[in-house]
């Protein structure tokens, strides 16, 4: 699984990772990837992602019967010069994540909400059990 940071600074010998080149990248040449949980209850496929610091106007969710794509932009609240950082791990800039769904869903009644920095998407499952049987007419 890809993460926000390059692998070249993982073993820095300190308790914290060294400042990585992720903080020096321009938002135009790389996207961060959201961490997600995907689970189900009796009626829904549910996707959750932590997106603290992102307003709902900065999030775009595309849904098909078998895939969900979440895109957004995390903007820093204040401008900080590169030379003023002692340590930087937070990812600022564009992010996206596509999730292939394990079952077909009803895209027309899907819902999304943000609460306490967690995005929750509820997708009603389309089960084979809901198949309608018809009789052959004469």
In tens, the pLDDT along 10-36 reads 333 333 333 333 434 444 557 888 899
Q: Closest Cα partner for 112 from 53, 48, 65, 54?
A: 48
The helix (run of H) or strand (run of E) holding residue 120 is: strand 118-124
| Token pair listed for 75 | 């903007």
pLDDT at 16: 34
**pLDDT tens-digit series, residues 85-108:** 999 888 888 999 999 999 989 999
Beta bridge partners, 120, equal: 48, 113
Residue 29's pLDDT is: 59
Neighbours of 58 (CB within 10 A): 15
Calculate mean pLDDT across residues 111-135: 84
Eight-state DSSP code of residue 28: T
Q: What is the CATH number of domain 35-74+92-127?
A: 2.60.40.790
């Amino acid at each position: 699984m890809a993460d926000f940071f390059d692998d070249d600074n993982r073993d820095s010998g300190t308790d914290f990772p060294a400042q990585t080149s992720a903080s020096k990248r321009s938002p135009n040449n790389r996207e961060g990837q959201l961490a997600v949980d995907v689970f189900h209850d009796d009626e829904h496929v549910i996707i959750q992602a932590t997106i603290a610091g992102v307003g709902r106007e900065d999030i775009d969710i595309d849904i098909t019967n078998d895939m969900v794509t979440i895109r957004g932009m995390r903007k820093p609240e204040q401008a900080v010069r590169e030379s003023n950082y002692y340590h930087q791990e937070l990812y600022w800039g564009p992010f996206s994540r596509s999730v292939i769904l394990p079952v077909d869903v009803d895209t027309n009644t899907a819902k999304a909400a943000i609460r306490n920095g967690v995005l929750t998407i509820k997708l009603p499952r389309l089960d084979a059990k809901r198949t309608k049987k018809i009789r052959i007419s004469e």
